[in-house]
Amino acid sequence: MSDRSPAPGGLELVQSLVNTLDIETGGDRLDTPEGRARFGLTEDEVPAARELRESLRAALLAHAGHPPHRAVTPLGELLARAPLVLTADMADGSAALVPADARPLPSRVAAAVAEALVAGTWTRLKACEAADCHWAYYDRSPAGRGRWCSMQVCGARAKMRRYRAKGG
Protein backbone atom coordinates (compact mmCIF):
# COMPACT_ATOMS: atom_id res chain seq x y z
CA MET A 1 0.00 0.00 0.00
CA SER A 2 2.33 2.71 1.22
CA ASP A 3 4.90 4.46 -0.90
CA ARG A 4 6.61 5.72 2.26
CA SER A 5 9.86 4.50 3.77
CA PRO A 6 9.88 2.26 6.85
CA ALA A 7 9.51 3.68 10.33
CA PRO A 8 12.74 4.35 12.23
CA GLY A 9 14.23 2.04 14.84
CA GLY A 10 12.03 -0.48 16.56
CA LEU A 11 8.90 1.11 15.14
CA GLU A 12 9.63 -0.75 11.91
CA LEU A 13 8.64 -3.96 13.77
CA VAL A 14 5.32 -2.40 14.83
CA GLN A 15 4.69 -1.07 11.33
CA SER A 16 5.49 -4.45 9.77
CA LEU A 17 3.19 -6.30 12.17
CA VAL A 18 0.24 -3.96 11.56
CA ASN A 19 0.82 -4.26 7.82
CA THR A 20 0.60 -8.06 7.80
CA LEU A 21 -3.13 -7.65 7.10
CA ASP A 22 -4.25 -6.11 3.82
CA ILE A 23 -7.75 -4.92 4.73
CA GLU A 24 -8.71 -4.29 1.11
CA THR A 25 -7.96 -7.84 -0.07
CA GLY A 26 -8.26 -9.70 3.24
CA GLY A 27 -4.81 -11.23 2.76
CA ASP A 28 -3.02 -11.96 6.02
CA ARG A 29 0.70 -12.73 5.92
CA LEU A 30 0.42 -14.38 9.33
CA ASP A 31 -1.39 -17.19 7.49
CA THR A 32 1.83 -18.10 5.71
CA PRO A 33 4.91 -19.88 7.10
CA GLU A 34 7.08 -17.05 5.75
CA GLY A 35 4.94 -14.40 7.42
CA ARG A 36 5.03 -16.21 10.76
CA ALA A 37 8.79 -16.73 10.46
CA ARG A 38 9.30 -12.98 9.96
CA PHE A 39 8.02 -12.47 13.52
CA GLY A 40 9.30 -15.71 15.03
CA LEU A 41 5.77 -17.03 15.54
CA THR A 42 4.42 -20.54 15.77
CA GLU A 43 0.92 -21.27 14.46
CA ASP A 44 -0.30 -21.39 18.07
CA GLU A 45 0.93 -17.83 18.66
CA VAL A 46 -0.90 -16.34 15.66
CA PRO A 47 -4.22 -15.56 17.43
CA ALA A 48 -2.38 -13.53 20.11
CA ALA A 49 -0.29 -11.81 17.41
CA ARG A 50 -3.49 -10.85 15.57
CA GLU A 51 -4.97 -9.46 18.80
CA LEU A 52 -1.81 -7.41 19.33
CA ARG A 53 -1.82 -6.26 15.70
CA GLU A 54 -5.39 -4.92 15.93
CA SER A 55 -4.72 -3.17 19.25
CA LEU A 56 -1.69 -1.53 17.66
CA ARG A 57 -3.79 -0.52 14.65
CA ALA A 58 -6.34 1.11 16.99
CA ALA A 59 -3.52 3.08 18.67
CA LEU A 60 -2.14 4.17 15.29
CA LEU A 61 -5.61 5.28 14.17
CA ALA A 62 -5.82 7.35 17.36
CA HIS A 63 -2.43 8.93 16.53
CA ALA A 64 -4.00 10.10 13.27
CA GLY A 65 -7.14 11.39 15.05
CA HIS A 66 -9.47 8.57 13.99
CA PRO A 67 -11.72 6.35 16.08
CA PRO A 68 -10.85 2.65 16.47
CA HIS A 69 -11.84 0.44 13.56
CA ARG A 70 -13.48 -2.02 15.96
CA ALA A 71 -13.46 -3.01 19.62
CA VAL A 72 -10.04 -4.33 20.62
CA THR A 73 -8.17 -5.34 23.75
CA PRO A 74 -6.48 -2.20 25.10
CA LEU A 75 -2.85 -2.05 23.98
CA GLY A 76 -1.64 -1.29 27.51
CA GLU A 77 -3.28 -4.47 28.76
CA LEU A 78 -1.48 -6.57 26.13
CA LEU A 79 1.89 -4.90 26.64
CA ALA A 80 1.63 -5.20 30.44
CA ARG A 81 2.12 -8.94 29.89
CA ALA A 82 5.51 -8.20 28.29
CA PRO A 83 7.80 -6.96 31.06
CA LEU A 84 10.83 -4.84 30.24
CA VAL A 85 14.06 -4.52 32.19
CA LEU A 86 16.42 -1.59 32.37
CA THR A 87 19.94 -2.25 31.15
CA ALA A 88 22.81 0.13 31.68
CA ASP A 89 26.25 0.21 30.07
CA MET A 90 28.78 1.32 32.66
CA ALA A 91 31.36 2.10 29.96
CA ASP A 92 29.37 4.80 28.17
CA GLY A 93 26.53 5.45 30.61
CA SER A 94 23.81 4.51 28.14
CA ALA A 95 20.62 2.83 29.28
CA ALA A 96 17.76 1.06 27.54
CA LEU A 97 14.56 -0.79 28.23
CA VAL A 98 14.79 -4.29 26.78
CA PRO A 99 12.41 -7.26 26.86
CA ALA A 100 12.76 -9.48 29.92
CA ASP A 101 12.34 -12.35 27.42
CA ALA A 102 13.38 -11.32 23.91
CA ARG A 103 11.60 -14.13 22.06
CA PRO A 104 7.88 -13.35 22.44
CA LEU A 105 6.53 -10.84 19.95
CA PRO A 106 4.70 -8.76 22.62
CA SER A 107 8.01 -8.27 24.44
CA ARG A 108 9.74 -7.02 21.30
CA VAL A 109 6.80 -4.72 20.53
CA ALA A 110 6.82 -3.36 24.11
CA ALA A 111 10.53 -2.58 23.79
CA ALA A 112 9.94 -0.87 20.43
CA VAL A 113 7.14 1.27 21.86
CA ALA A 114 9.26 2.19 24.89
CA GLU A 115 12.14 3.19 22.59
CA ALA A 116 9.79 5.31 20.47
CA LEU A 117 8.28 6.98 23.54
CA VAL A 118 11.74 8.02 24.72
CA ALA A 119 12.69 9.20 21.22
CA GLY A 120 9.40 11.06 20.80
CA THR A 121 8.51 9.17 17.62
CA TRP A 122 5.65 6.96 18.84
CA THR A 123 2.83 9.30 17.79
CA ARG A 124 4.34 9.72 14.30
CA LEU A 125 3.46 6.09 13.54
CA LYS A 126 -0.11 6.26 12.24
CA ALA A 127 -2.74 4.26 10.41
CA CYS A 128 -4.13 5.47 7.10
CA GLU A 129 -7.43 7.31 7.29
CA ALA A 130 -8.96 5.25 4.45
CA ALA A 131 -11.41 2.70 5.92
CA ASP A 132 -10.47 0.12 3.30
CA CYS A 133 -6.75 0.53 4.06
CA HIS A 134 -5.67 1.44 7.65
CA TRP A 135 -2.07 0.69 6.56
CA ALA A 136 0.57 1.73 9.10
CA TYR A 137 2.94 4.48 7.99
CA TYR A 138 5.46 6.76 9.61
CA ASP A 139 4.43 10.41 9.24
CA ARG A 140 7.50 12.40 8.26
CA SER A 141 5.56 15.53 7.31
CA PRO A 142 6.93 18.66 9.03
CA ALA A 143 3.69 19.36 10.90
CA GLY A 144 2.95 15.69 11.64
CA ARG A 145 -0.50 15.92 10.06
CA GLY A 146 -0.29 13.18 7.43
CA ARG A 147 -3.60 11.39 6.85
CA TRP A 148 -2.92 8.68 4.28
CA CYS A 149 -0.33 6.00 3.76
CA SER A 150 -0.02 7.15 0.15
CA MET A 151 -1.08 10.49 -1.22
CA GLN A 152 -1.05 8.96 -4.72
CA VAL A 153 -3.49 6.14 -3.81
CA CYS A 154 -5.55 6.64 -0.64
CA GLY A 155 -5.24 10.42 -0.61
CA ALA A 156 -6.23 10.69 -4.27
CA ARG A 157 -9.22 8.38 -3.74
CA ALA A 158 -10.42 10.44 -0.76
CA LYS A 159 -10.08 13.70 -2.67
CA MET A 160 -11.95 12.24 -5.65
CA ARG A 161 -14.78 11.03 -3.37
CA ARG A 162 -15.08 14.51 -1.82
CA TYR A 163 -15.06 16.09 -5.28
CA ARG A 164 -17.82 13.77 -6.49
CA ALA A 165 -19.87 14.32 -3.34
CA LYS A 166 -19.84 18.06 -4.06
CA GLY A 167 -21.34 17.34 -7.46
CA GLY A 168 -18.11 17.92 -9.35
Residue 50: other Cβ atoms inside 10 A: 15
Residue 20: the pLDDT is 97
pLDDT single digits (tens) 106-137: 999 999 999 999 999 999 999 998 888 899 99
Residue 67: the pLDDT is 86
Given a cut of 60, whether residue 3 has pLDDT beyond it is no
Percentage of the chain beyond pLDDT 70 is: 86
Residue 133: other Cβ atoms inside 10 A: 22
Residue 158: the pLDDT is 55
Given a cut of 60, whether residue 162 has pLDDT beyond it is yes
> What is 11-165's CATH topology?
Jann2411-like fold (1.10.3300)
50: Cβ–Cβ under 8 A, 6 or more apart, which residues? 21, 28, 30
Average pLDDT of the chain is 88
Q: Quick one: how far is CA 17 from the chain centroid?
A: 6
Residue 5: the pLDDT is 83
Residue 68: the pLDDT is 84
Q: What is the pTM of this model?
A: 0.86
SS (H, E, C) the chain: CCCCCCCCCCHHHHHHHHCCECCCCCCEHHHCHHHHHHCCCCHHHHHHHHHHHHHHHHHHHHHCCCCCCCCCCCHHHHHCCCCEEEEECCCCCCEEEEECCCCCHHHHHHHHHHHHHHHCCHHHEEECCCCCCCCEEECCCCCCCCCCCCHHHHHHHHHHHHHHHCCC
